[in-house]
Amino acid sequence: MKRIVLLSVILFSTLANAQINFEEGYIISTSNEKSTVFIKNVEWKDNPVSFEYRMGENGEITTGTLNSVKEFGINGDSRYVNTTVNIDKSSDNTSQLSYNKNPEFQKETLFLKVLIDSKASLYSYEEGNLTRFFYKTENNPIEPLVFKNYKITNFQAGKNEQYKQQLYNTLKCESISLDDVENLEYQKSELLKFFIKYNECENSELVNFEANKSTYIFHLSIRPGVNSASASLENKLDKNRDVTFDNETNFRLGLEAEVILPFNKGKWAVLFEPTYQSYKSQKIVDGQNIEIDYRSIEFPLGVRHYFFLTDKSKLFLNASYVIDANLSSTIIYESDIDLEIKSSSNAAVGFGYNYNNKVSLEFRYQSPRGLLVDYNFYRTQYSSISLILGYSLF
């Protein structure tokens, strides 16, 4: 089984590396030469420090960097500009806030993502959990919109919202009120609306690079299937009483909620799949009839990665952490010993095929989980492989 899982990982890693989608765009070199190129579009979540492109559709792959490219863009999709700016990378995590209210600027050269290109332009920078916004007007170069979470005391936090004053001072128009600025959150969706409103008020031509971006997509699927499962019981006091139950095939039924994430061309998703499963077997050891009756609701929470073959056809690989809630399950041991099952968590990996976001078929392996975690003198292992048919309700 471990070999199957390893080969599956190698196969899908190979497919992932083979997935190179180059789209028409442009680059402007640091010597101000503009060229039409084909750029590998991965819909970066974090702002890139480099990217791959070809001079022709089948040309040699070249890496563009901050040292060689002044600006690049993918037609109708995105645009990045090479800019040296002050950026505050102070943590926004509550446990890591500083007592300094002022931004702790450091000068860096970055590829800033253009969100709005107009008389007043909006830019963003993302790195992990860090998000910072920048803006530019006709009379001012690109500068940071200042926002910072900080500590007032060990039990009280504050916010430096200087960006509101910056925008109120520089982006004045009859349709922009004081309330518009005071109620403005330091979030991409809110800032986008504000900059669109200002530029429309100024009758300025506007390019909104976020207008056609993918958003979170939700799928709900019913997932019947079959499990092939086995279990074993080890008596730590007497090895002669160890039990290895037979491999049994049983029905399983799950309901999967999947959220497609809005980056990397919809290749990543998070999933949650409550599933009913059962396993029942018996074994005679030294004349004693040993029975296991195990039923539970599994709660796998995981991530999935898609590998597109065509517009309607794709492979996928997922990994999950599985929390198990047993349903009055027992192991009857030596006729007079009734062991109540209480199971541990475990991991699961699966790979499969999806057609037209409607029908899917998945092979899944679950690592062994313990069933008698409350007992000191017994050790159990339960593992399964599953063949799962999925049908998307929406």
pLDDT at 18 exceeding the cut of 60: no
Q: CA-to-CA distance for 152 and 45, rounded, in angstroms?
A: 32
Please tell me whether residues 196 and 241 are part of one structural domain: no
Which whole number is the average pLDDT over 172-178?
90
| Token pair belonging to 333 | 């041991």
Least confident stretch, 11-15, 115-119, 136-140, 203-207: 11-15
- Of 175, 208, 241, the residue at which a domain comes to its end is 208
- Of 188, 208, 228, the residue at which a domain comes to its end is 208
Please tell me whether residues 107 and 247 are part of one structural domain: no
Binned at pLDDT 50, 70 and 90, residue 287 comes out as: confident
Please tell me whether residues 85 and 136 are part of one structural domain: yes
For CA atoms 110, 115, 119, 120, the dihedral sign is negative
The 10s digit of each residue's pLDDT in 294-321 is: 999 999 999 999 998 887 899 999 999 9
pLDDT at 5 exceeding the cut of 80: no
| Token pair belonging to 131 | 């998000």
Structural domain boundaries enclosing 246:
217-392
| Token pair belonging to 150 | 């900080």
Asked if 1 contacts 44 with a C-beta cutoff of 8 angstroms, the reply is no
Question: What is the total count of domains within the chain?
Answer: 2
Cα–Cα distances in angstroms (integers) from residue 306 to residues 81, 262, 270, in the given order? 30, 13, 11
| Cβ atoms < 10 Å from Cβ of 54 | 16
